[in-house]
């Protein structure tokens, strides 16, 4: 399966503590993304700087604080692919998450437009990881894009 077929949107507000780990889990995917759009939702910490330091695939958009939903919508409009996934700024993905989701999404027998997954808490901070086994974070085709 080709890389560069999906984008990842990370809405982030005062997320400097976990954002690097979140981004690194996205970059470690067996099918890597074309781009990662981090929408800094008016953070007062170093969220944008942390994101910019993670590599050339990361694009940071700074906005006024309007909440996660607005930040996600801004990120969706900024993507350059027909398929996108979202991840919270304090979550991490298992390395094969997108490979599993894309396989389901692209299976002609299933005719899916979206693939969802559950989260599993882990560690002392109750951070989450996805997907749980073969359950597959939000992934949509162009027909569902905002705009």
The answer to whether the CB of 45 falls within 8 A of the CB of 76 is: no
Q: Does the pLDDT of residue 54 top 70, yes or no?
A: yes
Rounded distance, CA 39 to CA 45, Å?
A: 14
Q: How many domains does the chain have?
A: 1
Residue 26 lies in a domain: yes
pLDDT value of position 147: 43
Instruction: Give me the CATH number covering residue 93.
Output: 3.90.550.10
Residue 1 lies in a domain: no
Q: How confident is the model at residue 141 (pLDDT cuts 50, 70, 90)?
A: very low
Mean pLDDT of 128-139: 46
Residue 74 lies in a domain: yes
pLDDT value of position 115: 81
- The contacts found for 25-28 with CB under 8 angstroms, 24 or more apart, are 25/92, 25/93, 25/94, 25/95, 26/87, 26/93, 27/54, 27/55, 27/57, 28/93, 28/95
Structural domain of 22? 6-144
The pTM (predicted TM-score) of the whole model is 0.82
Q: Does the pLDDT of residue 126 top 80, yes or no?
A: no
Residue 84 lies in a domain: yes
Q: How confident is the model at residue 122 (pLDDT cuts 50, 70, 90)?
A: low
């Amino acid at each position: 399966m080709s890389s560069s077929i999906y984008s990842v949107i990370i809405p982030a507000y005062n997320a400097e503590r976990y954002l690097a780990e979140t981004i690194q889990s996205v970059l470690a995917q067996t099918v890597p993304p074309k781009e990662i759009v981090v929408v800094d939702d008016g953070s007062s910490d170093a969220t944008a700087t942390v994101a910019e330091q993670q590599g050339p695939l990361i694009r940071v958009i700074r906005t006024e604080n309007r909440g996660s939903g607005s930040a996600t919508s801004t990120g969706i409009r900024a993507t350059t692919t027909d398929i996108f996934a979202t991840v919270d700024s304090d979550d991490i993905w298992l390395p094969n998450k997108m490979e599993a989701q894309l396989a389901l999404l692209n299976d002609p027998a299933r005719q899916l437009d979206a693939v969802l997954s559950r989260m599993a808490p882990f560690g002392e901070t109750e951070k989450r990881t996805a997907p749980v086994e073969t359950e597959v974070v939000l992934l949509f085709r162009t027909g569902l894009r905002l705009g």
